[in-house]
Structure 1
Amino acid sequence: MSPAFRLGAVGFGLIAVCYGFARFAFGLFLPRIDADLGLGSTLAGAIAGGSFLGYCLAIIASASLTERMGARAVAVGAALVAAVGMAGIAMAPNAVWLAAAVMIAGSSTGLASPPMAAAVSAVVRRDRRDATNSAINAGTSAGVALSGPVALMITGQWRLAFAAFAVLALGLAVATARSVPRTPSRRDVGPKPERQPERQPERQNDVGRNGARRDPRPARGLPTLTDDLARLIAAAFLMGAASTALWSFGGQLLSLRFGWDARGIGIFWTAIGTAGIAGAWAGGLVSRFGINRLHLTFLGIMASGMVAAGSAAATPASALIGGALFGAAYVMLTGIYLIWGVSALPHRPATGLMVGFLTIAIGQTIGAPLFGILMDGLGADPAVLTFATLGMTAALARCRSHASAIMGECH
């Protein structure tokens, strides 16, 4: 097995555990957790927002730590944090404990993504990186798809489920330590300044096609806010906020609409995750159709899926179809933002990914409690329609990055 293939497989598994189990499985088990701990929609939304807040804080630290310490240590840390957080959820006796554990578990996702982007840049040849990053990113869907059957088998025993997820995370920590490279390639992040002092004066004239200045030294700190990064931030924020309608409240909506128990919600969750595997092809589709066209198309698919699954007009059949549309669109869109961010900062792949994924999580941090408030105050239907419309506004932000320039989208 080649190092690149092994890295892709382990990265896929790490993302599946951190995203599918540690972050998004909370929405799957929320109706049962709510019944046991008496949360209510507003408090449940605040706790879900805490998971996304943990992600925001962790992904900033992860990008910096990856550039300083290398990919392996940070990726292993992500798996261990996921294990601790999910074990905490399994033992939670009250809402306060649960909120803290959910936040820790959510932090693991922020830690996981930047080191994988850096590892791909170090191990995978350049013409395969977008495809490999997209495939790893699709691990989210595998985790979501697997959590659905778990819910079906244990009929809502959420404590047992999260305990099992924690054990899986420990196993992934071992596999990650064996497969992820210790440090990124110097060719991709640049040598240390003392190794090539004679090249430093050339930095003033070394500018990439996307307008970003290239620096042979490893960059540190926050990136310069270019026009393309600003557009990425706007799009990712709006999409992330809108997605919380189903990620955080999908189970609640289906329980409200159809009286579904853990079995029905588990089937819905499986539909989301299984369809989301389509996101593995984001890299190839971007190369063929361009970021902007794909972005608009899948924002429309995501909004349609939300309405089909959660609006007052939903039926049991449309809910399952809507979940599948939502899952495919969400993972595809995160793949698009990953490629957008890495192409905007080609010499800082971990930071480029961090910008897009951090902004998605900030949107989710704000979106989850806002949806809970709207659902309590106005009802489920207005809340779903409002968030579906919110997601479509992300299409107003158009990519002007290096990836788009290659395909003739920018002039």
Structure 2
Amino acid sequence: MNPALRIGATGFGLIALCYGFARFAFGLFLPQIDAELNLGPSLSGVISGGAFAGYCIAIVAAATLTERFGARAVAMAASTLAAIGMAGIALASSPTLMAFAVIVAGSSTGLASPPMAAAVAAAVRADRQDATNTIINAGTSAGVALSGPIALVVNGQWRTTFAVFAGMAAVLTIGAALALPSTRGSRHSGGLPKVGGPLRRLMIATFLAGMASTAIWSFGGQLVSQSLGRGPTGTAILWSCIGAGGIVGAWAGTLVLRFGLGRVHLLFCGVLATTIFAVGSGAATVGMVLASGALFGAAYVTLTGVYLVWGVRALPDRPATGLTIGFLTLAIGQTAGAPLFGLLMGGAGVQTAIIAFTTLALLAGVVRTGFGAAPSLSATRSISQ
């Protein structure tokens, strides 16, 4: 099989499973999990934040692990962690066990992306690398979009669903072993970069945007259930809309090239803020909430692309490090945002939490990129890495 097709298909599946299922599906099933285990909003936020914390730890280690053990081994570790974590979610009988399982599952995402980038660089022709990376990058949206219909098919049975997800992850571990190159012996750029100028602003913007996004990723299911009374069916449809809307993010590089990094960033942070308010305000109709879910997916994935370009341009001599810093601070923001939203929701009330997190998204948008109107061609291409 063609290396681009083989690696692209494997990477697409790995990203879809780790991000769409292992990391974000907890928010999809949170109302049912809460009803059975009596978590409450504060503990739910802490557990959801733990998944993002696991991601932070894993992504810091992923680059070194990939250089030492190779892309194949680290990708297999990612799918194995996803399988163990989701099996733990399916079997969890207490909030403590649930928290541990969610953290393990969330950690898989931190290990997933670096080995795929290394595999593409090592085994795919240079003229096919951008297309292959774009296919892999689209996995997140596909995983989120598919998790909704799966939830509908199993009629809200979250334990069964996570057991199925765990089985899929186990199968994918075998697929990664067969499809991916080792890539051992890659050169390590080493050392921490100097944090200043565009890189500092990137960290501020991603931290704020990451915090804001947890209003939907971690509590979207509960918000829909409380404001519209739609239960598991409404939440599953919302998740499908988020995933489908995220496909728009594949064009982030084109938008940046045409309109400039700062304008695209400001626009989609505004869209992010609008969707958070619409989903959580309780004043919107069902159709408006679902449309807002699709716009949230488009905004989140597009902003991810913007931050990829931003990171590459901030460290042009070390693009991988720039990308890692952007995603790491995004996840740190999510780690802080989930428990904060839960505390606000349980204390001051849902409306206060929504207004606060809408404001965070707007604040992220006004952070200046520090670059001119048009990015370099290399930065645009790097969006899919």
Moved more, 385-394 or 235-244: 385-394
Displacement after TM superposition at 1:184 (Å): 7.3
Q: Is this contact kept in 1: 2:8–2:135, CA < 8 A?
A: yes
- Separation of aligned partners in 2, 1:243 and 1:28: 14
Judged with a 3 Å threshold, the aligned counterparts in structure 2 of structure 1 residues 85 and 282 are, in CA distance, closer, same or farther, namely same
- Separation of aligned partners in 2, 1:79 and 1:303: 33
One-letter code aligned to 2:192: L
Q: Is this contact kept in 1: 2:9–2:136, CA < 8 A?
A: yes
* Correspondent of 2:237 among 267, 290, 293: 267
1:288-299 pair list within 5 angstroms: 288-299=258-269
One-letter code aligned to 1:391: A
Judged with a 3 Å threshold, the aligned counterparts in structure 2 of structure 1 residues 250 and 384 are, in CA distance, closer, same or farther, namely same
One-letter code aligned to 2:250: A
CA deviation string 1:91-137 (max 9, x = no partner): 10000000000000000001111222333333455576555444422
* Correspondent of 1:258 among 228, 238, 243: 228
Structure 2 residue matching 1:219: 3-state secondary structure: coil
Q: Is this contact kept in 2: 1:238–1:390, CA < 8 A?
A: yes
- Separation of aligned partners in 2, 1:254 and 1:56: 28
Judged with a 3 Å threshold, the aligned counterparts in structure 2 of structure 1 residues 305 and 21 are, in CA distance, closer, same or farther, namely same
1:36-185 pair list within 5 angstroms: 36-124=36-124, 129=129, 132-183=132-183
- Separation of aligned partners in 2, 1:175 and 1:39: 36
1:8-407 pair list within 5 angstroms: 8-124=8-124, 129=129, 132-183=132-183, 189=187, 218-346=188-316, 348-400=318-370, 404-406=374-376
Judged with a 3 Å threshold, the aligned counterparts in structure 2 of structure 1 residues 312 and 35 are, in CA distance, closer, same or farther, namely same
TM-score, normalised relative to structure 1: 0.86
Computed over aligned residues only, the root mean square deviation of the Cα atoms, in angstroms, reads 2.3
- Separation of aligned partners in 1, 2:304 and 2:132: 14
Moved more, 379-388 or 322-331: 379-388
Judged with a 3 Å threshold, the aligned counterparts in structure 2 of structure 1 residues 177 and 228 are, in CA distance, closer, same or farther, namely farther
Judged with a 3 Å threshold, the aligned counterparts in structure 2 of structure 1 residues 7 and 224 are, in CA distance, closer, same or farther, namely farther
Structure 1 residue matching 2:43: 3-state secondary structure: helix
One-letter code aligned to 2:5: F
Unaligned runs of 5+ in 2: 380-385
Displacement after TM superposition at 1:313 (Å): 1.9
Q: Is this contact kept in 2: 1:75–1:111, CA < 8 A?
A: yes
Judged with a 3 Å threshold, the aligned counterparts in structure 2 of structure 1 residues 372 and 79 are, in CA distance, closer, same or farther, namely same
- Separation of aligned partners in 2, 1:351 and 1:403: 23
Judged with a 3 Å threshold, the aligned counterparts in structure 2 of structure 1 residues 37 and 264 are, in CA distance, closer, same or farther, namely same
- Separation of aligned partners in 2, 1:115 and 1:345: 20
CA deviation string 1:161-202 (max 9, x = no partner): 00100111112222222333321796xx5xxxxxxxxxxxxx
Judged with a 3 Å threshold, the aligned counterparts in structure 2 of structure 1 residues 338 and 131 are, in CA distance, closer, same or farther, namely farther
Moved more, 156-165 or 385-394: 385-394
CA deviation string 1:55-84 (max 9, x = no partner): 111110112212333322211211111111
Structure 2 residue matching 1:268: 3-state secondary structure: helix
Judged with a 3 Å threshold, the aligned counterparts in structure 2 of structure 1 residues 181 and 396 are, in CA distance, closer, same or farther, namely farther
Judged with a 3 Å threshold, the aligned counterparts in structure 2 of structure 1 residues 350 and 168 are, in CA distance, closer, same or farther, namely farther
TM-score, normalised relative to structure 2: 0.92
The residue that corresponds to 2:383 in the other structure is none
CA deviation string 1:287-311 (max 9, x = no partner): 3333222211211111111122111
Displacement after TM superposition at 1:85 (Å): 0.5
CA deviation string 1:360-404 (max 9, x = no partner): 110000000000111112211221121111012112333346995
One-letter code aligned to 1:267: I
- Separation of aligned partners in 1, 2:120 and 2:253: 14
CA deviation string 1:315-367 (max 9, x = no partner): 21111011010011111111222233234345544433221111111000000
Please identify the structure whose Cα radius of gyration is greater: 1
Judged with a 3 Å threshold, the aligned counterparts in structure 2 of structure 1 residues 144 and 15 are, in CA distance, closer, same or farther, namely same
- Separation of aligned partners in 1, 2:258 and 2:6: 27
- Separation of aligned partners in 1, 2:336 and 2:310: 23
Q: Is this contact kept in 1: 2:68–2:184, CA < 8 A?
A: no
Structure 1 residue matching 2:4: 3-state secondary structure: helix
- Separation of aligned partners in 2, 1:389 and 1:132: 36
- Separation of aligned partners in 2, 1:286 and 1:133: 18
Displacement after TM superposition at 1:233 (Å): 1.0
Unaligned runs of 5+ in 1: 190-217
Q: Percent identity?
A: 60
One-letter code aligned to 2:153: M
Q: What is the number of residues matched between the two proteins?
A: 379
Judged with a 3 Å threshold, the aligned counterparts in structure 2 of structure 1 residues 388 and 124 are, in CA distance, closer, same or farther, namely farther
Judged with a 3 Å threshold, the aligned counterparts in structure 2 of structure 1 residues 185 and 226 are, in CA distance, closer, same or farther, namely farther
CA deviation string 1:265-294 (max 9, x = no partner): 111111111111222222333333332222
- Separation of aligned partners in 1, 2:26 and 2:207: 21
